[in-house]
Structures are given as C-alpha cells and as structure tokens.
Amino acid sequence: MPNIKSAIKRTKTSAKRREQRMAQKSAMRTSIKRFLTAVDNGEKEKAGELLREAKRKLDKGVTKGLLHKNKAARQKSRLEQKYNALNG
C-alpha cells in the first residue's frame, strides 16, 4: 500500500478507470455476441438493429482507447459480411 498522498490517489483513480474500461469492453463484447446469436437464429430485422448497435460500440471503443482502429474496422467488416450472408 502506498504511503505518499499522490500515490494513494493514483491507485484509487487507476482502479476506478480499470473498472470503467472493463465494463465498456464487456458491453462491447455483449453487443457483438447478441448480433451473432441473432444471425445464427436467422432473425433478419433484429440482426440489423443489433449490427448497428455493435458497430456503434466498436467505434466508441476506438475513441475511448479500448481497441485499435484497424481491429475495430476488421471486426465491423466481418460482422457486415455475416449480415450480408444472412440477407443474401
């Protein structure tokens, strides 16, 4: 445990930020999984809405520093391919 006042604060803030990042990352993963289950079940309309939400969460993940922009672009592209295969 740190003794210096600034180190104590840094420990608290880093723990708080870590919890926030974990929650954001979890929400992002959950939205992707929801989309994938909708695609597997063949629900076209629901999959469209969930795709929009998943892409939005991925973009937010990039702006918040959770993901690299190329990784997010790759994931969005793969999700789009699955959606197009469902509709095609």
pTM for this prediction: 0.87
How far is Cα 26 from Cα 42, in angstroms, rounded to an integer?
A: 24
| Confidence band for 1, pLDDT divided at 50, 70 and 90 | confident
CA diameter of the chain: 62
Q: 42, 48 in Cβ contact below 8 A?
A: no
Cα–Cα distances (Å) from 9 to 1, 19, 20, 48, 51, in that order, read 11, 16, 17, 44, 40
pLDDT in tens, 40-87: 999 999 999 999 999 999 999 999 999 999 999 999 999 999 999 998
Q: Considering the domain 5-87, what is its CATH architecture?
A: Up-down Bundle (1.20)
All structural domains of the chain with their residue ranges: 5-87
